[in-house]
């Protein structure tokens, strides 16, 4: 038997006993409902959701079509491949540089085999891009041209060329080039003024309206003889605002540079092609304004 001091804790009135039984009943009933009833909410498809589900098949087919979509390659003269064009074709930087060095000697490739000899591209890549090579008509019909007369005339013409400084050229100097009129010459001068002077003849490739033939003529008649003073920007410490002032860079590309730098650390020259939305075709020119 319990002693008198503890007995009061175990003595209940009729109402208390009823309350305890009622509580016990509620607990047991709740447990039973929890185990035997399914409380998973019934998914109600809204009208909008049903419309999206109906369109899912069409979306999947469009995704599949976009993955299988291969960019179309148009016929081109391989002698005028730029850095960006070569990059898109799958050529390495070294292969593109070999071609550009060959062209600086005022030499041309006249066949796919000669193109491979100069660039040293693989047989696989040559087989992939050579069907799109388009050479001048005289290359295909050499019998219609007298070889000795052709090269003699070319040599005489080359001797008569007086090379001028593109940064000192007047509008009339530019208009003396076949294919350049008042509008194009003014556009070239405006580009020069915007950049404070050209640092590379490759910049001609990025002036709208200049054909590859005209660019080639400009390269034969003009050179960079007076290099403008360049204020180099330290790419690993410059702010977005400072980087956006570099030629051919804008706020968004400068922001991507800073983002890449914060995630990967120090940026080197070879890292530029890894930066999102970086203008790869202008990488050599932009690098002249950067300090690594």
Q: Model confidence over 106-156: pLDDT tens digits?
A: 788 888 888 888 899 988 888 888 888 887 765 555 555 444 444 444 444
pLDDT at 223: 92
Average pLDDT over the chain, rounded to whole?
A: 80
Q: Model confidence over 62-108: pLDDT tens digits?
A: 666 655 555 567 788 888 888 888 888 888 888 988 888 888 887 88
Report the Cα–Cα distance between both ends of the chain, in Å, rounded. 93
Helix (H) or strand (E) holding 223: strand 222-223
Q: How confident is the model at residue 218 (pLDDT cuts 50, 70, 90)?
A: very high
* Helices and strands in the chain, H and E counts: 15, 4
Q: How confident is the model at residue 276 (pLDDT cuts 50, 70, 90)?
A: confident
Three-class secondary structure of residue 222 per DSSP? strand
pLDDT at 278: 86
Report CA dihedral (232, 236, 240, 241) to the nearest 10 degrees.
Answer: -30
Instruction: For residues 240 and 254, give the distance between their C-alpha atoms in angstroms, rounded to a whole number.
Output: 5
Higher pLDDT, 230 or 73: 230
Q: Which residue from 282, 281, 286, 213 is spatially nearest to 244, judged by alpha carbons?
A: 286
pLDDT at 41: 62
In the DSSP assignment, the letter for residue 40 is: P
What is the rounded average pLDDT of the residues 239-255? 88
pLDDT at 292: 83
Higher pLDDT, 73 or 17: 17
Q: Which residue from 185, 183, 151 is spatially nearest to 166, judged by alpha carbons?
A: 185
pLDDT at 146: 46
Which domains does the chain show, CATH number per domain? 78-159 (no CATH), 161-223 (1.10.150.320), 233-291 (1.10.150)
């Amino acid at each position: 038997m319990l002693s008198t001091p503890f007995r009061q804790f175990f003595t209940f009135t009729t109402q208390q006993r009823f309350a305890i039984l009622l509580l016990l009943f509620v607990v047991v009933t709740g447990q039973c409902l929890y185990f035997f009833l399914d409380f998973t909410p019934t998914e109600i498809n809204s009208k909008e959701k049903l419309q999206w589900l109906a369109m899912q098949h069409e979306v999947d087919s469009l995704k599949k079509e976009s993955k299988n979509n291969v960019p179309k390659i148009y016929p081109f003269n391989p002698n005028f491949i730029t850095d960006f064009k070569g990059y898109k074709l799958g050529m390495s930087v070294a292969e593109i540089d070999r071609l550009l060095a060959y062209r600086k000697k005022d030499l041309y490739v006249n066949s796919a085999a000669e193109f491979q000899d100069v660039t040293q591209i693989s047989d696989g890549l040559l087989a992939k891009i050579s069907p799109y090579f388009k050479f001048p008509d005289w290359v295909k019909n050499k019998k219609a041209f007298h070889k000795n007369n052709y090269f003699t005339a070319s040599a005489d013409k080359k001797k008569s060329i007086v090379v001028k400084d593109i940064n000192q050229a007047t509008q009339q100097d530019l208009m003396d080039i076949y294919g350049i009129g008042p509008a194009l010459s003014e556009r070239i001068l405006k580009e020069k003024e915007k950049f404070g002077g050209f640092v590379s003849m490759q910049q001609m490739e990025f002036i709208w309206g200049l054909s590859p033939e005209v660019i080639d003529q400009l390269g034969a008649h003009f050179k960079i003889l007076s290099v403008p003073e360049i204020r180099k920007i330290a790419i690993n410490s410059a702010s977005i605002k400072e980087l956006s002032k570099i030629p051919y860079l804008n706020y968004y590309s400068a922001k991507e540079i800073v983002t890449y730098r914060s995630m990967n650390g120090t940026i080197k020259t070879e890292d530029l092609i890894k930066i999102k939305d970086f203008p790869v075709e202008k990488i050599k020119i932009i690098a002249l304004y950067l300090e690594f």
